[in-house]
Amino acid sequence: MKHPLLLACALFAAGPALAQNAAPPPGDAKHGEMLFMADGCYQCHGTVAQGSRGTGPRLAPNTIPYEAFAAQLRTPRDIMPPYTTVVLTDSQLADVYAYVKSLPGPAKASDVTILH
C-alpha cells in the first residue's frame, strides 16, 4: 500500500485532469461551512478559503481532487494539525470538501477577511 502523503502529492500534481475522472463523495456544503468555521479551518485558510501567505494555502476556487484533500486532512504535511476520524468523520470531511468546492473565491481583496 502506498503512503497516503505520497498519494496526496501524486494527486495534487495530477491536478484538474484527475479531478474530472474521480467524483468526490456527496457532501452537504451548508453543513461543511459550519464545520469549516467551527473546526477552525478559517483561521489559516480564511473565511472564503482564500488562504494567506503566512498561514495556509488557498483552497478555492481551484480545489484539489477529493483524494488529495482527504489525505492532506488525515495526514497533513507541514504544520497543519491532523483531522483524524475522531475529529472529523468521513461524512463531515465530504461536507467540508463540498463547501470548499462551492466557493467561487474572493472577488477582490476587500472582500477577504482573515481572522487571527
pLDDT tens, position by position, 8-64: 444 444 444 444 556 889 999 999 999 999 999 999 999 999 998 888 999 999 899
Name the architecture of domain 4-103: Orthogonal Bundle (1.10)
Check: pTM over 0.75? Answer yes or no. Answer: no
Residue 65: the pLDDT is 95
Residue 86 predicted with pLDDT over 50: yes
Residue 67 predicted with pLDDT over 80: yes
Domain ranges (residues) in the chain: 4-103
Three-state SS for 52? strand
CB 74 within 8 A of CB 66: no
